[in-house]
Structure 1
Amino acid sequence: MGRPALNKDTRLCISLAARPSNIGTRFHNYLYEQLDLDFIYKACTTTDIGAAIGGVRALGIRGCSVSMPFKQDVIPLVDHVEDSARAIRAVNTIVNDDGVLSAANTDYIAVQQLIAEHGLDPGRSVLIRGSGGMASAVATAFRDNGFRAGTIVARNSEAGP
Structure 2
Amino acid sequence: MPILNEDMSLCISLSGRPSNIGTRFHNYLYEALGLNFVYKAFTTHDIAAAIAGVRGLGNRGCSVSMPFKEAVIELVDEIEQSAAAIESVNTIVNDNGVLTASNTDYEAVASLLAAHSVDPSLPVLVRGSGGMAKAVVAAFRGAGFDDVTVIARNIEKGSAVCPSSRAPT
Q: State if a TM-score over 0.5 links the two structures.
A: yes
How far the C-alpha of 1:74 sits from its partner, in A, is 0.2
Select the residue among 46, 51, 54 that pairs with 2:52: 54
**Other-structure match for 2:166:** none
| Structure 1 counterpart of 2:111, one-letter code | Q
Select the residue among 54, 62, 65 that pairs with 2:63: 65
**Other-structure match for 1:32:** 30
How far the C-alpha of 1:124 sits from its partner, in A, is 2.7
* Structure 1 outlier segments of 4+, above 4 Å: none
Select the residue among 87, 90, 112 that pairs with 2:88: 90
| Structure 2 counterpart of 1:121, one-letter code | D
**Other-structure match for 1:153:** 151
Helix, strand or coil at the partner of 2:111: helix
Q: What is the TM-score with the length of structure 2 in the denominator?
A: 0.90
Q: Distance in 1 between matches of 2:130 and 2:46?
A: 23
Report how many residues are paired: 159
How far the C-alpha of 1:9 sits from its partner, in A, is 0.7
**Other-structure match for 1:120:** 118
**Other-structure match for 1:77:** 75
**Other-structure match for 1:107:** 105
**Other-structure match for 1:8:** 6
How far the C-alpha of 1:11 sits from its partner, in A, is 0.3
Select the residue among 40, 43, 46 that pairs with 2:41: 43
How far the C-alpha of 1:84 sits from its partner, in A, is 2.6
Asked whether the equivalents of residues 121 and 147 of structure 2 are also in contact (C-alpha less than 8 Å), the reply is no
Q: What is the TM-score with the length of structure 1 in the denominator?
A: 0.94
Structure 1, unaligned runs of 5 or more: none
Structure 1, 82-91 or 12-21: larger mean CA deviation: 82-91
| Structure 2 counterpart of 1:127, one-letter code | L
Helix, strand or coil at the partner of 1:159: helix
Asked whether the equivalents of residues 63 and 92 of structure 2 are also in contact (C-alpha less than 8 Å), the reply is yes
| Structure 2 counterpart of 1:98, one-letter code | N
